[in-house]
């Protein structure tokens, strides 16, 4: 295919790599150059199309700053973060699986405060927000036993679809963020909001790309979770209400079946109007892994 172009070009580019390239970089760049060149030849990319791509990528960097990572977003909408997340969390085991991972996204903060079990992450008014008691048990994938002292780090957007640092007029620092520890029975429980679906910002190159792809910019409503314990593989994930209309077409492709949950109306808790149970399964660090060779097309 496309054999009419110089058949030695790509190998020549690969061969210019010097002897001091690390084995991993040599593997990555060899594959990257092959795929980038094969793509270019297959579609017979024109100089104008190539230059449009160069321009869009420059603009993507230029609109990014400490609060906005547009390149991260651009790679999300083409599925890249979801894919590296799947690869990183691939666990091959025979009869069990840990809770699925989903992308981290650009809104995690290392500064989320520790909060007491039974506390709330809601610091500020959220018009229309539905207060939810979220709770569950964290268990060991191998033994099925509950795990105490697991850190459950949670963050979510407010009812206007914005995270604290996107919305300083309405939200105080660390609104809708918090870290909890499971108790001696492996349980956690706290108050949060039923999440709200929102649009990615479309005023930058990611919005331009979505328009070219004739796609909507919506993420289904979700709550982010980072679940960690020294003896277990970490799980970074998101959960989604089962009645969300964007589950099938999430613009960053992060929905998996076991991450879809039910926010059940309740009148038993004076502090909440919804009850949501999420049990979490963690894989021990020493879990037996099968079939994980590194494969490179050469």
Judged by CB under 8 A, the chain residues 217 through 256 that form the site for a second copy are: 249, 251, 253
Task: Output the CA torsion sign for 226, 274, 169, 217.
Answer: positive
Candidates 11-19, 158-166, 219-227, 261-269 — which segment interacts with a second copy by CB under 8 A?
Answer: 11-19
- Contact (CB, 8 A) for 159 and 223: no
Alpha-helix runs per DSSP H in the chain:
9-15, 23-42, 47-63, 70-77, 80-88, 205-212
Q: Which residues pair with 219 in a beta bridge?
A: 198
Q: Does 96 bind a second copy (CB under 8 A)?
A: no
Which range touches a second copy (CB under 8 A), out of 195-203, 209-217, 226-234, 269-277?
A: 209-217
User: Among candidates 138, 134, 141, which has minimal Cα distance to 89?
Assistant: 141
Side-chain-side CA neighbours of residue 158 (13 Å): 24
Minimum CB–partner distance for residue 207 and a second copy (Å): 15
Cα dihedral 200, 173, 148, 131 sign:
negative
Interstrand relation of 235-241 and 177-181 (parallel, antiparallel or unpaired):
unpaired
- For position 260 contacting a second copy by CB under 8 A, the verdict is no
Q: Is residue 50 close enough to count as binding a second copy by CB under 8 A?
A: yes
258 binds a second copy (CB under 8 A): no
Span of 46-54, 163-171, 195-203, 259-267 interacting with a second copy by CB under 8 A: 46-54
Quote the CA–CA distance of 264 and 145 in Å, as a whole number: 26
Q: Could you give the CA distance from residue 221 to residue 197 in angstroms, rounded to a whole number?
A: 4
Q: Does 286 bind a second copy (CB under 8 A)?
A: no
CB of 266 to a second copy, least distance (A): 35
Stretch that binds a second copy, among 110-118, 132-140, 191-199, 286-294 (CB under 8 A): 286-294
Nearest approach in angstroms of CB 297 to a second copy is 6
Is 264 a binder of a second copy (CB under 8 A)? no
Q: Among the candidate windows 41-49, 143-151, 169-177, 182-190, which touches a second copy by CB under 8 A?
A: 41-49
Task: Report the nearest approach of a second copy to the CB of residue 233 (Å).
Answer: 13
Distance CA 274, CA 247 (A): 20
Asked whether position 132 contacts a second copy by CB under 8 A, the answer is: no
100 binds a second copy (CB under 8 A): no
Answer yes or no whether residue 11 interacts with a second copy by CB under 8 A. no
Which residue is associated with the tokens 């909060």?
Answer: 115
Which residue from 183, 75, 176 is spatially nearest to 132, judged by alpha carbons? 176
| Interactions with a second copy, residue window 66-85 (CB under 8 A) | 69-72, 75, 78-85
Query: Which residue, 41 or 179, is less far from a second copy as judged by CB?
Result: 41
């Amino acid at each position: 295919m496309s054999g009419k172009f110089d058949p030695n070009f790509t190998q020549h580019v690969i061969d210019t790599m010097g002897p001091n390239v690390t084995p991993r970089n040599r593997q990555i760049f060899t594959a990257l150059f092959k795929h980038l060149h094969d793509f270019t030849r297959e579609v017979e990319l024109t100089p104008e199309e190539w230059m449009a791509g160069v321009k869009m990528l420059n603009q993507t960097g230029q609109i990014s700053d400490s609060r906005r990572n547009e390149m991260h977003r651009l790679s999300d909408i083409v599925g890249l973060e979801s894919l590296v997340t799947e690869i990183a969390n691939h666990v091959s085991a025979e009869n069990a699986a840990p809770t699925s991972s989903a992308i981290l996204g650009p809104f995690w903060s290392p500064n989320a405060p520790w909060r007491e079990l039974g506390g709330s992450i809601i610091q500020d008014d959220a018009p229309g927000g539905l207060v939810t008691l979220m709770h569950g048990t964290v268990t060991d994938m191998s033994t099925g036993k509950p795990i105490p002292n697991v850190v459950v780090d949670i963050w979510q957007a407010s009812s206007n679809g914005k995270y604290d640092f996107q919305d300083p007029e309405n939200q105080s620092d660390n609104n809708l963020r918090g870290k909890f520890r499971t108790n001696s029975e492996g349980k956690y429980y706290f108050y949060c909001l039923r999440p709200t679906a929102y649009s990615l910002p479309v005023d930058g190159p990611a919005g331009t790309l979505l328009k070219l792809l004739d796609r909507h910019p919506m993420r289904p409503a979700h709550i982010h979770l980072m679940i960690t314990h020294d003896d277990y593989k970490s799980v970074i994930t998101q959960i989604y209400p089962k009645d969300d209309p964007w589950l099938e077409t999430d613009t960053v492709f992060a929905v998996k079946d076991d991450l879809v949950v039910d926010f059940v109306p309740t009148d038993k808790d004076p502090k909440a109007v919804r009850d949501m149970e999420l049990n979490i399964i963690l894989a021990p660090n020493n879990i037996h892994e099968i079939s994980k060779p590194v494969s490179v097309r050469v």
